Amino acid sequence: MIVLDQENKVFTLHTQNTTYQMKADSRRVLLHTYYGPRIGGGDLSRLIRYADRGFSPNPAEAGDDRTYSLDVLPQEYSGGGGGDFRLSAIQAELADGSQVVDLRFTGAEVRRGKYALEGLPAFFAGEEEAETLAVFLEDAVSHLRVELLYGVLEGCDLIARAVRVVNLGAEPVRLRQVASLCLDFQYAGLDLVTFDGRHAMERCPTRAPVRPGVQGVGSVRGASSHQHNPFVVLCEQDAGEDHGLCYGAMLLYSGNFKAEVERSQFDGVRLVMGIHPQHFCWTLEPGASFTAPEAALVCSPDGLGQMSRRFHRAIRAHLLRDPLEGRRKPVLINSWEAAYFGFDSEKLVRLAKEAAALGVELFVLDDGWFGERNDDRRGLGDWWVNEEKLPGGLEPLVERIRALGMEFGIWVEPEMVNEDSRLYREHPDWALVPAGRMPTRGRSQLVLDFSRAEVRDHIYEALRPVLSCPGLSYVKWDMNRSLTEVWSAALPPERQGEVYHRFVLGVYDLLERVRRDFPHLLVEGCCGGGGRFDGGMLYHTPQIWCSDNTDAVDRLRIQYGTSFCYPPCTMGAHVSKVPNEQTGRTVSLDTRGIVAMSGAFGYEMDLGELDGEEKEQVKEQTAFYMEHFELIQQGDHYRLSDPFQDGPYTAWAHVSPDGREALVCVVTGCVHAAAPFRALRLKGLDPRASYRVNGGEERWPGDVLMAAGYPLPMSMGDYRSMRLYLEAE
Ligand code: GLA
């Protein structure tokens, strides 16, 4: 619910459990007055105190009032170059070269439904499910107008935000930064949690108190990156899974981003998040507008677990555009770790046959099927079928796979080109690199200039016959290097600062075309595993290959970190062979199954190499997943321990929203002799219900399971697993 008090210029956004408020004061400065647990309302600017602070200057219209300084006030969207020395949300270079943006309130309105953003991912909602608040600010000298959009998804406790800048002046303006979100906290004492890592070890949480000055994370790699995720948390310093005030902020963007936090001299905290200003400069001609990507906020008064579950629900219901619309996703087998580049039709059909017999439903042909792609040094860009490997093209293979009762999927990497390819030989100027420079290579490949429509059109036309292949139901969309030497032959020098962003818009454009023309295709995102795991990609690809690391023990950490924002159904997770290709570790098939099942489940190995007993296990796993798909994919996710603590076990649970059904998963750590007894306290159950355990005779009361816990058996061997399926009677 949005309460618009036009007289006092107080604008209050209520979700079911939270309240957010801003107020334009008498000088038309838009102040941020509150974000936290839901409260009645009223004018919360009473929370703001004024004092004469040394070296915090006063705007002209404050006259003699030295207690009024933008440097001290909590602001809704900070300008730049004026009297606020904290992080700016917007930076611009005006026609006269000055860099002052002084934003003042000019109006506000409420609209039914949730706004959409052209060409950019955004949460969506029905007319009845959401409202939009639009607040208008303007710089009186340059006539730069900033529209702040707030989409209130009341039932999900999520507030989406976007920013549109319009040049109402007569001269061009160069935008150096347009943040998607600025959030001020007057009274701080907060921790910042970021999700960091590297290729094959993504999204490991890092938590530290917000210290004086600026700290933050970002990416200038052209993709949101393996190294830092465009999702951050600010929380009270004693906040844990189940208590404490927490704020999560996600950016729905797949390119360069920056999330910065500043603790001010008076211990206020400001979060600013958006496109990374480095390499960014957007020329805004008179009359033109620029839209910053969407950001989304969730506040949870009751800990990090509740914050995550709120994000999960909102993402599942209002961001993912899943062609299966809630229907069960097929269990898949991916050819990569089973065959790499060394396959022909016969080998693929054999892999598929083995998998089909064990209940696997979708066969995904990974890299290596096109052009001269016999290794990872050549072929990208040549999206025609390599008939030496697949005689007669894709169709005969697909028919044989379909005859096994399986669906068929395929891998592509549309944004890339190898120099050793027909495409590159014909269009060397389509790769990103300024004339006269040698390009930096990554995985022996270059990046196509997706800011150019003709490049995208060509790739789309080349892919179209593949996407049109009868029987194709799934596509894995990969992206295997970072962007360097970013420069487009199609743009003038003064617009080169737009290329990174135009590249991302180009990727979204192509994905949108695929969706428009092939709405039945389930597209899984990938970027060397989880290098582009963000809300922007999730809008286009409802699941993303979580990491190239398929080791179950490392996956405990990766999936744990990923779950702070993103729901399990978005995390591609496969059982692969042992010893694991990335770590050399051997973990039981049971454990590999339990871990992979807590994501978008599949296999990535030659199942024909398993012995009879293991094959029976795979059959049991696929059958169990199919039976409990909804609980695992749509249930509430509870993190029951932190795998980074290297404790005796890692545990988590999927619980139905009514608490009547739960799947509890436990993976033990390294065993030690004569280990102490342990009980695992569960969460989210119905305290009054009696639960049947694993379909057997055992019964446990919900209150006991939550208050005292379930006693864990002693483990023999490292990384063993246990599954408790609980049903209330
Ligand atoms: C990336 C992906 C892998 C696989 C290979 C193929 O590394 O993350 O899953 O598809 O590319 O080259």
Distance of CA 478 from the midpoint of ligand 1 (Å): 7
Tens digit of each residue's pLDDT (9 = 90 or more) over 445-477 = 999 999 999 999 999 999 999 999 999 999 999
Assigned domain for 324 exists: no
What pLDDT, on a 0 to 100 scale, did the predictor assign at position 716? 87
Pocket test for ligand 1, best of 201, 334, 412, 478 (most atoms within 8 A of CB): 478
535 CB near ligand 1 (under 6 Å): no
Question: Looking at 5, 43, 581, 614, which residue is catalytic?
Answer: 614
Q: 611 an active-site residue? A: no
Same-domain pairing of 17 and 100: yes
Pocket test for ligand 1, best of 336, 364, 370, 555 (most atoms within 8 A of CB): 336
Pocket test for ligand 1, best of 367, 415, 550 (most atoms within 8 A of CB): 367
Which residues, other chains included, contact 13 with Cβ-Cβ below 8 Å and sequence gap of 6+?
1, 2, 19, 20, 21, 133, 150, 152, 159
Same-domain pairing of 670 and 604: no
Distance of CA 527 from the midpoint of ligand 1 (Å): 8
CB 267 within 8 A of CB 231: no
DSSP state of 239: -
Atom number in ligand 1 closest to CA 411: 10
Q: 614 an active-site residue? A: yes
Task: List the CATH number of the domain containing 693.
Answer: 2.60.40.1180
Assigned domain for 288 exists: yes
Assigned domain for 325 exists: no
Q: Which residue CA neighbors atom 8 of ligand 1 most closely?
A: 528
CB 11 within 8 A of CB 133: yes
336 CB near ligand 1 (under 6 Å): yes
Q: Helix, strand, or coil here: 191?
A: strand
Q: Residue 87 carries which side chain, given as an amino acid letter?
A: L
Task: List the CATH number of the domain containing 536.
Answer: 3.20.20.70
Same-domain pairing of 617 and 642: no
CB 210 within 8 A of CB 263: yes
Distance of CA 481 from the midpoint of ligand 1 (Å): 11
Pocket test for ligand 1, best of 411, 533, 547 (most atoms within 8 A of CB): 411
365 CB near ligand 1 (under 6 Å): no
Q: Helix, strand, or coil here: 340?
A: coil
Same-domain pairing of 142 and 282: yes
DSSP 560-606: HHHTTTS-GGGEEEEEE-SS-TTT-----HHHHHHHHHTSEEEEES-
What pLDDT, on a 0 to 100 scale, did the predictor assign at position 187? 80
Same-domain pairing of 314 and 440: no
DSSP state of 469: -
Q: Domain containing 140: what range?
A: 2-318
Which residues, other chains included, contact 436 with Cβ-Cβ below 8 Å and sequence gap of 6+?
none
Assigned domain for 669 exists: yes
367 CB near ligand 1 (under 6 Å): yes
Domain boundary among 581, 614, 634: 634
Q: How far, in Å, CA of 615 to CA of 613, rounded?
A: 5
Q: How far, in Å, CA of 141 to CA of 127, rounded?
A: 37
528 CB near ligand 1 (under 6 Å): yes
Distance of CA 367 from the midpoint of ligand 1 (Å): 7
337 CB near ligand 1 (under 6 Å): no
For the chain, list residues with pLDDT below 70: none
604 CB near ligand 1 (under 6 Å): no
DSSP 417-446: EESSSHHHHH-GGGBS--TT-PPPPBTTEE
What pLDDT, on a 0 to 100 scale, did the predictor assign at position 325? 84
Burial of 93 (0-12, 13-18, 19+ CB in 10 A): middle
Compute the radius of gyration of the chain from its Cα atoms: 27
CB 217 within 8 A of CB 232: yes
What pLDDT, on a 0 to 100 scale, did the predictor assign at position 62? 95
Tokens of 704: 């006991």
475 CB near ligand 1 (under 6 Å): no
406 CB near ligand 1 (under 6 Å): no
Atom number in ligand 1 closest to CA 529: 8
Tokens of 321: 């555009």
- To which H or E segment does residue 634 belong? helix 612-634
Q: Which residue CA neighbors atom 12 of ligand 1 most closely?
A: 367
Pocket test for ligand 1, best of 198, 444, 527, 548 (most atoms within 8 A of CB): 548
Q: How far, in Å, CA of 47 to CA of 164, rounded?
A: 29
Tally DSSP H helices, then E strands, for the chain.
Answer: 12, 37
Tokens of 650: 């890692």
Atom number in ligand 1 closest to CA 366: 10
Same-domain pairing of 277 and 254: yes
Which of 34, 29, 26 lies closest to 83, judged by CA?
29
What pLDDT, on a 0 to 100 scale, did the predictor assign at position 301? 96
Q: How far, in Å, CA of 398 to CA of 575, rounded?
A: 24
What pLDDT, on a 0 to 100 scale, did the predictor assign at position 527? 98
Question: Looking at 534, 554, 606, 636, which residue is catalytic?
Answer: 534
Domain boundary among 634, 661, 693: 634
Assigned domain for 209 exists: yes
Task: List the CATH number of the domain containing 72.
Answer: 2.70.98.60
Assigned domain for 486 exists: yes
366 CB near ligand 1 (under 6 Å): yes
Atom number in ligand 1 closest to CA 476: 10
480 CB near ligand 1 (under 6 Å): yes
Same-domain pairing of 219 and 310: yes
Q: How far, in Å, CA of 213 to CA of 567, rounded?
A: 33
Distance of CA 117 from the midpoint of ligand 1 (Å): 31
Which residues, other chains included, contact 699 with Cβ-Cβ below 8 Å and sequence gap of 6+?
690, 691, 692, 693, 729
Same-domain pairing of 248 and 340: no
CB 495 within 8 A of CB 510: no
411 CB near ligand 1 (under 6 Å): yes
What pLDDT, on a 0 to 100 scale, did the predictor assign at position 521? 98
Domain boundary among 318, 347, 367: 318
529 CB near ligand 1 (under 6 Å): yes
Length of the chain (residues): 729
Distance of CA 312 from the midpoint of ligand 1 (Å): 26
Same-domain pairing of 49 and 88: yes
Assigned domain for 266 exists: yes
DSSP 473-508: EEEEE---S---S---TTS-GGGGGGHHHHHHHHHH
Q: How far, in Å, CA of 534 to CA of 540, rounded?
A: 10
Q: How far, in Å, CA of 255 to CA of 268, rounded?
A: 29
Distance of CA 532 from the midpoint of ligand 1 (Å): 13
Place of tokens 């010893």: 579
Same-domain pairing of 221 and 271: yes
Q: Which residue CA neighbors atom 1 of ligand 1 most closely?
A: 528
Which of 27, 196, 106, 99 lies closest to 564, judged by CA?
196
Residue 573 sits at φ, ψ, to 5 deg, of -145, 125
Distance of CA 326 from the midpoint of ligand 1 (Å): 27
Q: How far, in Å, CA of 213 to CA of 177, rounded?
A: 20
Place of tokens 């590297």: 198
Assigned domain for 326 exists: no
269 CB near ligand 1 (under 6 Å): no
548 CB near ligand 1 (under 6 Å): yes
Q: Which residue CA neighbors atom 11 of ligand 1 most closely?
A: 528
Q: How far, in Å, CA of 668 to CA of 233, rounded?
A: 28
Same-domain pairing of 619 and 706: no
Tokens of 618: 């795979």
Q: Which residue CA neighbors atom 7 of ligand 1 most closely?
A: 528
545 CB near ligand 1 (under 6 Å): yes
Same-domain pairing of 425 and 297: no
Q: How many domains does the chain have?
A: 3
